[in-house]
Structure 1
Amino acid sequence: MKIDYQKDLNPAQYEAVTTTSGPVLVIAGAGSGKTRTIVYRLAYLVEHEVSPQNILLLTFTRKAAGEMLKRAESLLGRGLLGVHSGTFHSFAYGMLRKFATALGYVNGITVMDSSDAEDLLKSVKEQLKIGQGDRSFPKKKTVLALISKARNKEMELEQVLLKEAYHLRGYAEDLERIYREYQLFKQKHGLLDYDDLLFQLERLLVEHDDIRDFLRQAFQYIMVDEFQDTNLVQGRLVKLIVGSEGNVMAVGDDAQSIYAFRGANVNNILNFPKIFKNAKIIKLEQNYRSTQPILNLTNQILAQATEKYPKNLFTKRKSSLKPQLIRPLSDLSQARVVVQKVIELTQKYSLHEIAVLFRAGYQSYPLEVELNRASIPFQKFGGIKFSEAAHIKDVLAFMRLVANPADLLAWTRGLSNLKGIGPKTCERLYSAFMQGNSQYIEKQCKKSKQLEHILNLLDELRSKQDSPAQILDEIVRFYQPIMQEKFADDYPKRATGLEQLAQIASAYDNLDIFLADMSLENPDPEGNKVKEDTLVLSTVHSAKGLEWSAVLIIDLVEERFPSKHALMDYDELEEERRLLYVACTRAKDYLALFVPDSIYNRYQDLHESVLPCPFIQELDNSLFEEWRENYLGSLVPTQNKKPRTKTLGQKSYGQGLGQRPDCRYCSHKIFGRGKVIAEIPPNKFKVNFPGFGLKTVIGDYLEFEE
């Protein structure tokens, strides 16, 4: 029985499925049935006499390719033996094995896995006598990750260090030497690593016209999934395999390009019509996931993007419930307000149908503590779970020794961080302490000044009546250099985690209560397997491709979402916009955006006002309901009042949250033309300048467009 494509598909999907000649770009909005479209196109090609052997399906995971083929086979009622499907890397490996001799690999190719590559890097490092005795030197896994990032982004290794691992910049010269020797060793011994597969396939196709023509003849129909996630070499490979006018269908969404840190380049999808002549663009805009009020908000987030394929998502899922914009008094009270909202939502949804999303893993730490206190089970995707982070455990071990010197586990955990102090010495020190054997302790202290320092510090802290925050400050001051050496590879991220711990500690007066709340465990024996009746906490990157009935997004303020780093770079700021779009489009029925009014500054013991996320400021206030936390801890609705305005010439700029400055543009002598994001009274403006990012500029230095 033939498939009724027109009945099973909406008009845009049907057009994408049945357009089989020439280059086609399918812009698949969030929740628009992207996979369904690819599956039906596979079936359509085979039903119309295309041999499976002539079809190439490139995806980003083997699992995705397998599921698509399985669904297409089910649709057709028969197998699809012969379709070439899989990841770019697996396809490259297959072609390189077939044509190894053309590249000079007379004995075939040997591909190293990540473990082999790490061991080779270690061997090279030792041969070069680099980093000997330096415990802070980056680990082999980190070195491989940095080299891989440089390859995928096609940047110099030093550039990657300066941009993404600034704390390791002092090792730039040594890492460059290791990198060069690593490359030479591979070439000399006929070895390839994971990234080499793509570049060697490119070399094969560029240097050998006959092989390139053979592949074009063999794979006459090519489909590429998640095209927005391709890196530069993957984009070039598609062009080499297809030619400028071949039958290629690239499917993706420029608005969901959020993996630049892995090397993904949004320009591959934005420039598709320039790369492939006479390309046809088809947009899938009917959404099957979210309600229309949620889509109205996400549409406006995208509308402000400078480079994009314009799209307007719509759905048949009507609803009177608008997204909620919730304003906690501070980041300290935000966790409690989120828990209240989660409890309220459980009257309608199961816990596993609710997700709390955030920009970075550390941002959920206060919430994890509050959830443990409320006995609400949760699982976390992306980032380190607070209770499992090694540096957090280390610091808490020292704090536990202040509260209870008889805590053997804390002795072992805390003191094992000191040089020359192993598990057996920890046990002997513990026994000596409990038995009052000061001679043994003094003997060990003479061998280790670190040990003497921490034992004296712990004695001093026990004799005081300091708050948990004050005790933590003293412990962190001691632990910081240890952490810097122990976790040199990702020290900045862990330092941020300790900042979050300090924020949490500032809300406590009693050390025992603080430690009890920190020690409450939330068992997660099933790891990353989605569990029933368990709240989901997730970074936005880890949430891509998933959906929940209710989604709550926290910390929507400048320097947290977008990140501080992104505010300084135009391209990164635009990716942060897409990241917020991805987060919002995970919601099916309910969406809440949490925008704290202030951030607690523990150094000055005050709450500092912060600006909302610039993408939130751009939203029209008719798109959401606004709620504020009052000083009693309750949420109260806010009337959407007409914003106060300041007139500059004939142009007005809104000052209230939710009021965007009507996409006003201005120019600056140095930064050029930019878009006004927000006004900061009395005479400053936040302006997004392409190439320079978000800048705060005095109005006198700006020329506003009429």
Structure 2
Amino acid sequence: MILSDLNEEQQKAVQHGAGPLLIVAGAGTGKTTVITERVAWLIEQGMAQADEILALTFTDKAAGEMEERLDKLLPYGYVDLWVMTFHSFCERMLKNHALDIGVPNDFKLLNQTEQWLLVRENLDKFNLDYYRPLGNPTKFIHALLKHFSRCKDEEIWPADYLEYAAGLKIDLDKMESTGGKGKNKKESEVDESEIKRLEEVANAYHIYQQLLLDNEALDFGDLINYTLKLFKERPNILKFYQHKFKYILVDEFQDTNWAQYELVKLLASPKNNLTVVGDDDQSIFAFRGASMSNILHFKEDYPKSVEVFINKNYRSRQNILDMAYNFIQLNNPERLEVKLGNEKLNKKLASQHKGKGIIEHLHAADEGEEVAAVVNKIIQLKNEDSYASWNDFAILVRANNQAEAFLNGLSYAGVPFNFVAAKGLYAKEVVRDVLAYLKLLDNYHESLALWRILNLDMVKIKVEDLMELTRFAQRKTYSLYEAINQIGTLKNISADTSKKVAYILKKIKEHTALAREKSIKEVVLKFLNDFKYNEYLLAKNDEKSFSYLRSFLKKIEQFEKTNNEKNAANFMQLVELELESGEQGDLPKDVEEGPEAVKVMTVHGAKGLEFNYVFVVNLVDKRFPSIERGELIELPDALVKEIVPQGDIHLQEERRLFYVAMTRAKRGLWFSSAENYGGKTRKKLSRFLYEIGLEKSKIKNQKSKISPKPEIKNFDVKYKLPTVFSYSQLKAFETCPYQYYLAYILKIPVRGKAVFSYGKTMHSALQKFMAMIKQSAGSKQERLFASDNREQLAGSVKNKLPPVEELIHLYKESWIDDWYESKKQKEDYKKQGEKSLRGFYQQIKDKLPEVLALEQGFNFKLDQYTIRGVIDRIDKLGDKVELIDYKTGRAKTEKSIEKDQLLIYQMAAKDVFGFEVENLTYYYLDDNSAVSFLGSERDLAKIKEKILKLIAGILSADWQAVATQHNCQYCDFNEICKYREL
């Protein structure tokens, strides 16, 4: 129930009506709850529809968490929630409207590495003198890109920068023309040198932007700035979205930059129904520590805004909160509490839990003993707390490179852990194995790559045989590949090894041939299957490695989408360049994904999370607080629009970071340090330990060792189960729960199928073609689902039919060229597709359908569960609608069709859209026939009962296999499943 569990301050924030609202919410005070309840309250009160509220966050995880909570709060479901990051929102705007400002709407969004590659490949175009790199340009390019990114944060365009530099030059020329009054010769020379430097940077920024446009690409900063440009230069588009979004909410407002705030102000005007939520003490991403800048600007821009201060904490014990509060006050007067006046804003958090938390300092002689003290304490707490799970523990480091010792310690002790880092994919063993194999296929004589393959656990070639092969290769000056090709001439090699080597050589040749015709992804999946790699990981229940594989395969897919030369050699060249740039590969970002585990992460990564027991480690001088690293290329103060604080900005930011670390803890907070980290000098304790008053309580001479695989009670590994369900999920579980486990819990990568590539192609072509027909009638799906859908059904729609060749063109443009077994199969599908679409055209030629919606997503509630899906097409039939789902294949009879999918759509159409359904139709594209039916009340009751039973089965985590010859024959996992019946 909305509002039922909220305190007085939270209720005041949620129930605020029109006008601007500033919410200052401290750590653990239910900030996300307030935002989601406010969205739900606005919808419940009829003040806005779900798609008329825009909620902006900073991370995909935060947006996902809000959506998840709204799923539970909204009683009937919803069509389109605009809960997303700033970048996702702007990308959506530009995909729809970029052409209106001369930017291609099919732009490629470059990540940091791709930006680096673009500059590196065009470095000679930058005409650098002052900043010309004498050696390796890697660090210089990163510095330049970081500077450009800062410019975009402040909405500084290249023209602005060039104008600023030109203005300085004019001032200097004027001064020189007057004889240099007020300046001596030396000062004038310094000024001239600085102006040349600024002109060079401004020009480089201009060239970089032009390179992006020439390559039809944008970076993340461009998403915000071009959206701002769109709204400023195209008032009609701005007006449309100002009218659309009746209420706007911004999370983590303290970390918004100038450009993001300008965007929000534009959208919110003129109604100014803008809610911002922030806490300056938790600002750890703002430029130069400008933690209060936009909050203070907000108060200036909206002097009559309502202010709500929330300080009841539902996370931590009071003594933990008191320590954190006393500590962060050392940042005074550069805190909001001081700026606004203490009598108005009291940021001392009040715990809603009784009792004290544990606060301890573990001090050791060296890093090994520090690690042992932390790991042993975690095991002790786990054994003593029968309710504790591994997810209750977090080890927080200041930087990723400080985590390795703790990872090794946890591994040695047999404690499950998850290193939550943004980068490091290419260093993971499973990815290194795949990279080695791709390198080998590109060049058989890459001996190190082949050595890695021969050493794979699932290959298990004897060590003595490998040594013999290596010695033979060295003696003959052969590559290892040449040596194993002559294995028959060696007497001391075992028969088992000879057999395995013959198999490997056979597969290398097969996969080399495959790589000439198929995608890299297909080759990789073939390697994983043929070398029994997936089977090996499944036997170990190695969910982590499967997640790394999924991330790596996404990387390959991205490469194949954006490169014409899609071979393994070019992909490996890209990876080598990325490694040269410092890129280590993106890791999966979901902290809660996979089995229970102790989380090891940076303090930055822990923002927004909470744990029962938190360990903040390596608390010594120069580690935490870290050494200040200023900007290599600083932005001129005259161009900075944000309010920058006074004093030691770096120390203030490090304090905020330490405050965030402390306020993650619910019941226990440990600080750890050591005297020796391998250097020559003894380490000093972190100044923060003195500032929180713990330096005196350190445990001296704490000697600890980790017991290998100690007895750990309650060692129960659990997986995160879904909170939202789809028809395909439910169908997979119904067919075989173990298949569901492999596909949706472990998420094992599988080879695609020709029928799926063909099906997606046909769906895409039809969606684009029907959208053209729909647009010809002036119908806009953006506003389709208004408060009363009867208006949509009242009038007739006059559609126009484009020529059939337009449909065929869209078909060819949409063609997905993957997963076909042979060229003949591919051609057969191509011919069938064109024949089917021409038949489809003839079917609708005489009587065009009145299309209401295409690819219409929905979320609807079934009891407390959310069901999600996408309806291919919704047509108007008088004052009712027809729901259509396309199928590739030939028609079935009504008795033989699987009705469940469309019955789910029927429930959604009624509950979410308010439509009365006339027909549910499966449209079979191969012969352009259709089977229609309508679910009775009895049918709908039965499908509801069935869905709830399947969901209960999934949530029980009982993955019992249903192994039948029929099921296993068509299962994607029949090659690795231990229960298979073939």
Tell me the TM-score range normalised by the shorter chain. Answer: 0.5 to 0.7
- Residue identity in the other structure for 2:679: R
Flag the 1:173–1:337 CA change in 2: closer, same or farther, 3 A: farther
What do residues 180-201 of structure 1 show as CA deviations (whole Å, max 9, x unaligned)?
4331234467654432121112
* Alignment counterpart, residue 57 of structure 1, candidates 47, 55, 58: 55
1:608 equivalent to 2:674? Answer no
Q: What pairs with 1:109-258 in structure 2 (closer than 5 Å)?
A: 110-114=107-111, 120-121=118-119, 123-125=121-123, 136-138=136-138, 146=146, 149-154=149-154, 179-187=205-213, 191-209=217-235, 211-243=237-269, 246-258=272-284
* Alignment counterpart, residue 402 of structure 2, candidates 344, 350, 363: 363
Partner of 2:361: 325
- Residue identity in the other structure for 1:602: G
Question: Secondary structure of the equivalent of 2:313?
Answer: coil
* Alignment counterpart, residue 536 of structure 1, candidates 585, 589, 599: 599
In structure 2, how many angstroms separate the alpha carbons of the residues matched to 1:91 and 1:176? 29
What do residues 143-166 of structure 1 show as CA deviations (whole Å, max 9, x unaligned)?
896466344444899x9xxxxxxx
- Residue identity in the other structure for 1:223: L
1:272 equivalent to 2:349? Answer no
Partner of 1:337: 373
Deviation at residue 432 of structure 1 after TM alignment: 6.7
In structure 1, how many angstroms separate the alpha carbons of the residues matched to 2:370 and 2:418? 19
In structure 2, how many angstroms separate the alpha carbons of the residues matched to 1:97 and 1:409? 45
My pick for the range that moved more, 550-559 or 115-124, is 115-124
In structure 2, how many angstroms separate the alpha carbons of the residues matched to 1:528 and 1:196? 29
Flag the 1:64–1:377 CA change in 2: closer, same or farther, 3 A: closer
Flag the 1:318–1:625 CA change in 2: closer, same or farther, 3 A: farther
Partner of 2:24: 27
Partner of 1:420: none
My pick for the range that moved more, 176-185 or 125-134, is 125-134
In structure 2, how many angstroms separate the alpha carbons of the residues matched to 1:608 and 1:244? 61
Q: What pairs with 1:306-705 in structure 2 (closer than 5 Å)?
A: 306=332, 307-310=334-337, 311-347=347-383, 348=385, 349-382=388-421, 388=427, 431=471, 489-490=581-582, 530-532=593-595, 534-565=597-628, 570-596=648-674, 598-600=675-677, 602-603=679-680, 607-610=681-684, 612-620=685-693, 626-630=697-701
Deviation at residue 360 of structure 1 after TM alignment: 0.8
In structure 2, how many angstroms separate the alpha carbons of the residues matched to 1:305 and 1:283? 20
Deviation at residue 109 of structure 1 after TM alignment: 6.0
In structure 1, how many angstroms separate the alpha carbons of the residues matched to 2:422 and 2:37? 36
Deviation at residue 555 of structure 1 after TM alignment: 1.3
Deviation at residue 299 of structure 1 after TM alignment: 1.9
Deviation at residue 427 of structure 1 after TM alignment: 10
Does structure 1 retain, via aligned residues, the 8 Å contact 2:367–2:676? Answer: yes
Deviation at residue 615 of structure 1 after TM alignment: 3.1
1:298 equivalent to 2:338? Answer no
Select the structure of larger CA radius of gyration: 2
Deviation at residue 119 of structure 1 after TM alignment: 6.2
Deviation at residue 381 of structure 1 after TM alignment: 1.4
What do residues 511-535 of structure 1 show as CA deviations (whole Å, max 9, x unaligned)?
xxxxxxxxxxxxx999966454533
Partner of 2:90: 92
Flag the 1:153–1:562 CA change in 2: closer, same or farther, 3 A: farther
In structure 2, how many angstroms separate the alpha carbons of the residues matched to 1:552 and 1:57? 33
In structure 2, how many angstroms separate the alpha carbons of the residues matched to 1:412 and 1:148? 44
Flag the 1:374–1:54 CA change in 2: closer, same or farther, 3 A: closer
Partner of 2:755: none
Partner of 2:101: 103
Does structure 2 retain, via aligned residues, the 8 Å contact 1:559–1:567? Answer: no
Does structure 1 retain, via aligned residues, the 8 Å contact 2:231–2:238? Answer: yes
In structure 2, how many angstroms separate the alpha carbons of the residues matched to 1:262 and 1:309? 16
Question: Secondary structure of the equivalent of 1:629?
Answer: coil
In structure 1, how many angstroms separate the alpha carbons of the residues matched to 2:258 and 2:611? 33
In structure 1, how many angstroms separate the alpha carbons of the residues matched to 2:216 and 2:678? 55
1:36 equivalent to 2:33? Answer yes
What do residues 670-702 of structure 1 show as CA deviations (whole Å, max 9, x unaligned)?
xxxxxxxxxxxxxxxxxxxxxxxxxxxxxxxxx
Q: What pairs with 1:3-14 in structure 2 (closer than 5 Å)?
A: 3=1, 5=3, 7-14=4-11
Deviation at residue 179 of structure 1 after TM alignment: 4.9
What do residues 569-618 of structure 1 show as CA deviations (whole Å, max 9, x unaligned)?
8222212111111111221211101143x345634xxx5251x3333322
In structure 2, how many angstroms separate the alpha carbons of the residues matched to 1:85 and 1:439? 60
Does structure 2 retain, via aligned residues, the 8 Å contact 1:323–1:625? Answer: no
Deviation at residue 139 of structure 1 after TM alignment: 9.2
In structure 2, how many angstroms separate the alpha carbons of the residues matched to 1:366 and 1:532? 22
In structure 1, how many angstroms separate the alpha carbons of the residues matched to 2:157 and 2:100? 29
- Residue identity in the other structure for 1:536: K
Does structure 1 retain, via aligned residues, the 8 Å contact 2:116–2:142? Answer: no
Deviation at residue 68 of structure 1 after TM alignment: 2.8
* Root mean square deviation of aligned Cα: 4.8
Partner of 1:447: none
Flag the 1:384–1:45 CA change in 2: closer, same or farther, 3 A: closer
Flag the 1:65–1:600 CA change in 2: closer, same or farther, 3 A: closer
Deviation at residue 362 of structure 1 after TM alignment: 1.6
Flag the 1:135–1:346 CA change in 2: closer, same or farther, 3 A: farther
- Residue identity in the other structure for 1:49: G
In structure 1, how many angstroms separate the alpha carbons of the residues matched to 2:20 and 2:588? 47
Question: Secondary structure of the equivalent of 2:668?
Answer: strand
In structure 1, how many angstroms separate the alpha carbons of the residues matched to 2:211 and 2:621? 46
Partner of 1:68: 66
Q: TM-score, normalised by structure 1?
A: 0.61
Does structure 1 retain, via aligned residues, the 8 Å contact 2:29–2:310? Answer: yes
Q: TM-score, normalised by structure 2?
A: 0.45
Q: How many residue pairs align between the two structures?
A: 508
Deviation at residue 233 of structure 1 after TM alignment: 0.8
Question: Secondary structure of the equivalent of 1:195?
Answer: helix
Partner of 2:435: none
In structure 2, how many angstroms separate the alpha carbons of the residues matched to 1:103 and 1:240? 17
In structure 1, how many angstroms separate the alpha carbons of the residues matched to 2:362 and 2:593? 28
Deviation at residue 551 of structure 1 after TM alignment: 0.8
- Residue identity in the other structure for 2:137: F
Does structure 1 retain, via aligned residues, the 8 Å contact 2:52–2:244? Answer: yes
